[in-house]
Structures are given as C-alpha cells and as structure tokens.
Chains A and B, each alone.
Chain A
Amino acid sequence: MTGALDGVRVLDLSDQQGAFAGKLLAGLGADVVLVEPPGGSPLRSIPPFWQGVEGPERSLFFWFYSAGKRGITLDWRTAAGAATLRRLAARADVLIESEAPGTLAGLGCGSAALRAANPRLVVASITPFGQTGPYRAWRASDTVAQAMGGMMFVNGHRDGPPLRSLGLQAYHQAGIFAAVGVVSALLARDTTGRGQDVDVSLQAAVAGALEHVPGLWHQMGLVAPRQGTLHWTRYFCVGRCRDGWVMHCTLGDWTSLVEWMKADGMGAGLDDPALEDIKTRQAEADRLFAALDAWAARYTVEELVQGAQLRRIPYAAVRPPEALLRDPHLAERGFFVPIEHPDLGLTVPYPGAPFRLTDAPWRVARPPRLGEHTEQVLAELA
C-alpha cells in the first residue's frame, strides 16, 4: 500500500511557521523536498538539541518538523538559485513558502511567474496575517499569533496573565489549514487543470481553532473570560486526588457518580433530582466541583479514573506529555514509530499518524541531513 498523496511532488521553502504543512503532506505520502539555504534551515538552530549540544544534525525541533522530507540546499535568494528554483517548480505539484508577502515575486519566483511555466502548480503561502489586508506586512511569532487570533485571552487563571498553549499551535493550525487548502486545490485541479494560490494567515488559523470565543460574541455579545481549568461549558474542571491532578467531569452518568460518592459517605446534597438536568449542573458548577474535590482527595488518580470509566463517566488523569511514551493504549496502536538515525547511533520514537487511512498508511521517515538529497533531486531535473 502507498500513501494517499503518493506521487504528489512538493517543494517546501518554509521556515517554522509553515513547516507543519509539509510534515503532514509527507506523512500522507507526498514527496516533500525541503529547500534549505546553504547554511541550513533556521529550524536546525532551534533547541532542544541532542545531548544539549548545538549542531545542524542535532536539533530535535528540526527533526520533528522535517521527518519524512527529503532535503536539498539551494540559495534561492540569488539569481542563479532562483533560476534553479524555477526549474524545480516547473515539475512540482505544490510549493509551500512562508516569506513576507511579495518576497518570492521580487525574485521572479512569485506564484504568477511559476504558474506561467507550470499552470498546474499549487502555491501555499503561510504568513503571520495573510497576503492581503492592512497587517499583511506585520510580523508574528507563534505566541503573537496566538494572542491576535484570540486563543490566548481565554487561557490562564482569572487573576493571572493570559497563557500561550503547549506546543506551537498557531503554526500547527496554519500548517493543518495549508495542507487542507493544498489537497483542496489539487482536487480542484482535477476539474480545472490549473493550480492556484492557498493563502493562510497564522492569525486566522488560530481564530479557526477557537471554540466558544467568536460564537458567543456573535450570539450574545459575551467577552469570554479566563477561568483557569474550569471549561467554558462549566462541565469540566481540574481537581486534586491524593497523588496528583485529575480532570473532573459532570457530564456522563451523573447518577452513578453520585451513588459512588454516597457509598463513600460523601456527596451530601448531590442527590437532588434537579441536578439530573445538565443545565442545573452547569449553573451549580462551583459547588459541584468543590464537592467532587473533597471526595477525590481519598483516591489516587488511577483509582478515580478507573472507577469513573467503569461507570462511563469521562474522567482523565492530568498527565505530562511524556506519559504518552509509555501509554499501553498508544503502544498497542503503534502510535510512536521507531526511526533510525544511523549517524548518531540512535533509534528515535517519532509521533506517528494523527489519523489512520486504513488503505493508505501514514509515512514516517528520518529527517534529511543537510543537503542529503541535493544531487539526487538536481539529477531528477536532468
């Protein structure tokens, strides 16, 4: 079996803002060629580094975003390099870039010029604010994009500052939407015979990964506040067990939960029939979570979560990400894929498929060494 995008040729010029798009397309089976400047992609200088020692082949950050891509070095900012880039683009299906708007056009490599030679080319641009609008030349980091896209304001404690997410979620959402846009454009090309531009803004991608914030504003003029781990629906909140944090949940089989508490001599007042209505539980969230917390303190996280899941109540342990590395469920599903890094004598467990196409398996492969495929890719041009 081959990947879903087997045979699709992608040139990836992007930096960290857009790197996730190419990673997804490579996972789907596309031949993604990462085009790095001669000194290496900026991602190679971003920590963490293997054994803490900086070096172009040692950045775990680069590894994560570049797994499954081939790599060439090409100084496309020079006239000669730009000419080579045009030749590469002439036989590609997709080009992904994250330069400031207008940069590639200034080098004769804008989408219009590239499509003049290859009308089937899809060009995806991932920039802080998109190709149009008053902020199109403005800059962002992942954190600034999270802020301006509305993600940050609602994360954090009531009396504390807004908090950014774990992981570069502005970049990741932009990468996902770019990949969605690219495959959409490829599907459209089946009908039109022509490629097109995919314009992705980090800010809009973040806004497209919000839940309640815009909707409740549109609906009722509500400015959603920060309220710590109390979910905006008020059905979830972090609480404390004997040995750690747990995610409480007042959805699911409430009656069983209350019976369990009563069997422990707790939960006085929670057998009120009014609380069988989830709207009442929503309104009384503060009281309910206080009662649940007083009860949870007698259990370990594992005891509480197992007991809740047996009763089909969606409880979960609040775990560090590394818990995933030894999670028996993910192990049985083979989520992590061991990949050899022979130069370092290492086997690296890469996070694998975000979803499984059962007829077109996800592909995980080693990230490229600097310039590893330059000769190979240039030979393919001949």
Chain B
Amino acid sequence: MRILIVEDDEILADGLAAGLSLNGFLAEVTGTCADADMAIQHGDFAAVVLDLMLPDGSGLDLLSRWRTTGNHIPVILLTALDAVSDRISGLDQGADDYLGKPFDLDELAARLRAIGRRNEGRAEPVLRFGNLALDPAQQIARRGLQQITLSRREYTLLHALIERPGAIVARATLEDRLYGWQDGVESNALEVHIHKLRAKLGAGAIRTVRGVGYQLQECAT
C-alpha cells in the first residue's frame, strides 16, 4: 500500500516514513498543504496520514476541500488536539480515522491495513488467491500449510498482485509501488524482485504479459 504522509515536523515525518515502510507500506512525505494537494492529484495513494497543523494551512481545511471536490481517499488524521470534540469534528469533516499524538506506530500500521481492507471490500485481514495467502500484518505468505518468508520488496510486489486477483498489473504500477518517487531506479530492478518472488512461490505463480505487466496465476504446487 502506498501511503501519503502530510506532516511538517521533519523528525516525525521521517519516523513515519521509516516505520511505515518497516510495516510493508510505501510512504511518501510532504510537509505542506500545497505539496499534499499536488501529490494527491498525481500519485496513486491508498491512504493519507494527515497532520492538522501545517505551515500553510489547516489539515482539516485541506481534507474538506478534498471531500467537496469528490476525492474519497481514506484519511487518518494525526493531531495534538485530541479532545473528544476535536475527534468528532475531524471525523465529521470526512476523516476515516483519528490518532492523537503521540501515537503508537504499530497501531497506525494496523489502522492503515484496516483501511486497506475496507477499500478492497473485504473484512478478512488475510489476502487469498487460490491456495496462496498473504498476511499483511506479519508480511508473510502461505501456500497451504507452508510458510513463505518475504523481503519487504517481495511483500510489496505480491501485495500489489494479489489485491486484484487475476488482473494484469502494469509494470509502471508495480514500479511505482516499489520505489515511489525515488529517482534512478534501474530498469531491470523489477525483474530482479519478480525473479526472487517466483523462486519462493513457484515458477508458474507469476505470469509475464509482454509489454503490459504481470499477472498472478493459480498453481497446484
């Protein structure tokens, strides 16, 4: 899942990015309302972690602006103002969830995963395709009873493929998920990770669709 973090405190934003990527998310950081607006328009994010007090305006105003313009991206508000009335007004302005500072990183990750599940219209925390299962909370895959450990990149790739079972996922989408806005990604880096993933899941598990992307396939082994 690709997450946009809108937080102007450098240290907290850095911690969020590092912590969320440890939890299998790909996090992008912006520090102002203007940058957040731009990122929302151009990037494909699964959720936004939004601070309320930003140097160029209020996060709440930004959120209601998104909602009135028809942007329904899930938003978790982060704020130091965590009185009940503040929570209520935040949720009523269109936020999906609310965390008061200081918060627990694991709790934020769990809430983001829950938001991801709701987005995909499922209640079960584990993603399944055939006899293959992916557990986002533990970042491990299972085939039947066999447990498969995944690196962070492999997990991100498999998550992107298993989200829409059977669909062909474009190369660009996968690269975007893996690297975000980082520059200088080598052209064959994606192939390297696909290759490693095939080695763990079985050669037939991922089909290459030439010129388009990749597709997850059911296989018996």
Tell me, yes or no, whether A binds B.
Answer: no
Q: Which residues of A contact B (CB under 8 A)?
A: none
